[in-house]
Amino acid sequence: MRLDRLISSQGRYSRNEVKKLIRDGLVTVNGEKAATSDIQVDPAVSEVVVAGEPFIYREHIYLMLNKPEGVVSATDDRLHRTVLDLVPPEFSRPGLFPAGRLDADTTGFVLITDDGDFAHRILSPKNHVEKTYIAELADPITDEDVGKLEEGIVLKDGFECLPSKIRVLDDKKIEIKICEGKYHQIKRMLAATGNRVLVLKRTQIGGLPLDIDLLPGKCREITQEELGVITT
Ligand code: URA
């Protein structure tokens, strides 16, 4: 791949910035100053250093965001801040999108990536990747409601949900795990029991919990090891 395209593909620097860095002699390939932007490099074998920092090429990036309230899970919105607005420049690159949406008033774990196949794998209900939420409710939940939710509740519009897993934390607070991601799904599931969700937070995707050290609005990379935990 061309050196300037390779470096700019990782998002931190634009193509023009990379060209300037190369002109200024700030990019080395295998210890030699890169003479021009168009030299061919293989990221698997060439050692590239950009402005003194080793360049690490990743085909895809996977980010964990702790979404605050009021931010929308879109790539572009004229009125509201989006989850992509919270991605710092060092992680930003073309093609990023949230793998699954949270409502504007829902907080917690949003996975942002540029890997469409991976996103499909974790979102398709067929693959049984559970999304875990904590829901605070307006009214106490009954054993009968828990039974209905665990069996597969029918929404008011007739949609039959897959079975969910419920842990009652107190009479108005539950942990709920679902593999589907229909619009307002958990709010509608609880509405079908005659209850109302007051507060909703996603705490885990598959086997990977939201990092408790990640403050609302902050974002960090998901490690390769953690990535494996999501789908197992
Ligand atoms: N279910 C909802 O109702 N809202 C969300 O944001 C996520 C799941």
- Residue of 103, 117, 145, 211 with catalytic role: 103
Residue 172, pLDDT > 90, answer yes
Residue 190 Cβ < 6 Å to ligand 1: no
Interval 143-163: pLDDT, tens: 999 999 999 999 999 999 999
Percentage of the chain modeled with pLDDT above 90 = 88
Q: What is the pLDDT of residue 114?
A: 95
Asked if residue 151 and residue 200 are part of one domain, the reply reads yes
Residue 200 Cβ < 6 Å to ligand 1: yes
pLDDT, mean of residues 181-196 = 97
Residue 232, pLDDT > 80, answer no
Q: What is the pLDDT of residue 231?
A: 87
Annotation marks residue 211 as catalytic: no
Look up the domain containing 34 and give its range.
3-54
Asked if residue 118 and residue 78 are part of one domain, the reply reads yes
CATH of the domain at 86: 3.30.70.580
Taking the CA atoms of 56, 62, 66 and 67 in sequence, report the sign of the dihedral they define.
positive
Residue 73 Cβ < 6 Å to ligand 1: no
Q: What is the pLDDT of residue 9?
A: 87
Asked if residue 134 and residue 201 are part of one domain, the reply reads yes
Asked if residue 162 and residue 186 are part of one domain, the reply reads yes
Ligand 1 pocket, mutate which of 67, 71, 103, 178 (most atoms under 8 A from CB) = 103
pLDDT, mean of residues 78-96 = 92
For residue 3, give the nearest of 54, 43, 59, 45 by alpha carbon.
43
* Residue 41 banded pLDDT, cuts 50, 70, 90: very high
Residue 28, pLDDT > 80, answer yes
Asked if residue 136 and residue 120 are part of one domain, the reply reads no
Distance from Cα 34 to the centre of ligand 1, integer Å: 50
Residue 103 Cβ < 6 Å to ligand 1: yes
Are the beta carbons of 98 and 111 closer than 8 angstroms? yes
